[in-house]
Amino acid sequence: VKLPIQCATDVSDGILAIIQESGEMGVSNSAAVIENGHALVVDTMLLPEMAHGITETLRFRGARAVLVLNTHHHIDHIGGNVHFSSCPIIAHPVAVEIIRQMSADTTVATRLIPRFAAEIPRRLQVPESLYNRLTASESLPGGGELLTFSPAHTAADVAVWMPEQRVLLAGDLCFNGVTPLAIHGRLQDWVAALEILIALAPVVVVPGHGPLATVATLETLHSYLQAMTAVARRIAAGEITMSDSLEMFDPGDVGNWLEPGRTMMNLRQAVREAQQEVVH
């Protein structure tokens, strides 16, 4: 299989972004925080071969992974864990439980991501709870702060905030140039999470998919998800139909991004959430 191009960028002192073009299904980013040759690796991509690119990039800089953090349970962020079996791998406990269930059968993923079906590992390396390794007050290597959101893009997402460099390692809380996928979490909570991330005023955002982003990208996503939530409430209230809504909904800049078919999937999810509100 032809692997996507990986491009490593030093976004700030000791912070490395490893971006894979062009961020579509199964093609995700990774980041590393390097301190005295020791690296915290954030997300391991889909394939061990992709993860090999991460460790080669670190080796080239005289660094090695000492801790791996998975931002959420999606296989394109954890499939490369098997390549890091010699160092601790941590994730939010909710994500750990989902990954444990996924690890029994990865053929679901091969159907979702046919492009890499043959290479997707049959075995997943299940991370341990981040609370086993980090106490609430302890910062990550390099001075990073852990931000947890449960739910948001998925049932549980974590991001790393580097306050000194004002860099946000966002995982899939940020997509850039690729339509976000909002069917495994809760749109309203993702909107709230984005408000917290925007308030940090990051200078650089390393997204889960697509090229390096800024706070403006977070704002674009916020508008998209918030507008979708508003339209979905009107559908749930019976004021408009699903087909009306597609004409009314303005995706903003996201309308020009890859994977446009996800907007319909996201809207259906938003309507399900709005219907639950009506019932309760």
Residue 79 CB, shortest distance to Zn ion, in Å, is 12
CA distances from 163 to 139, 145, 186 (A): 11, 8, 27
Does residue 24 interact with Zn ion by CB under 5 A? no
Using the minimum distance from each CB to Zn ion, give the nearer residue, 74 or 83.
74
Residue 199 CB, shortest distance to Zn ion, in Å, is 23
Q: Which two tokens stand for residue 136?
A: 């609430």
Residue 74 CB, shortest distance to Zn ion, in Å, is 3
Size of the site for Zn ion (CB under 5 A): 2
Which residues have C-beta within 8 Å of that of residue 166, sequence separation ≥ 6? 12, 200, 201, 202, 203, 204
Using the minimum distance from each CB to Zn ion, give the nearer residue, 43 or 273.
43
Distance from C-alpha of 85 to C-alpha of 68, rounded to nearest angstrom:
10
Binding mask 137-176 for Zn ion (x = CB under 5 A): -----------------------------------x----
Does residue 74 interact with Zn ion by CB under 5 A? yes
Which of 139, 153, 158 has the alpha carbon at shortest distance from 31? 158
Does residue 209 interact with Zn ion by CB under 5 A? no
Q: Which two tokens stand for residue 4?
A: 């996507």
Region of 55-63, 72-80, 91-99, 103-111 interacting with Zn ion (CB under 5 A): 72-80
DSSP string, 43-92: ---SSHHHHHHHHHHHHHTT-EEEEEE-SSS-HHHHGGGGGGTTS-EEE-
CA distances from 100 to 74, 126, 184, 254 (A): 12, 6, 17, 33
Does residue 43 interact with Zn ion by CB under 5 A? no
Residue 144 CB, shortest distance to Zn ion, in Å, is 20
Residue 171 CB, shortest distance to Zn ion, in Å, is 7
Residues near Zn ion, by CB under 5 A: 74, 172
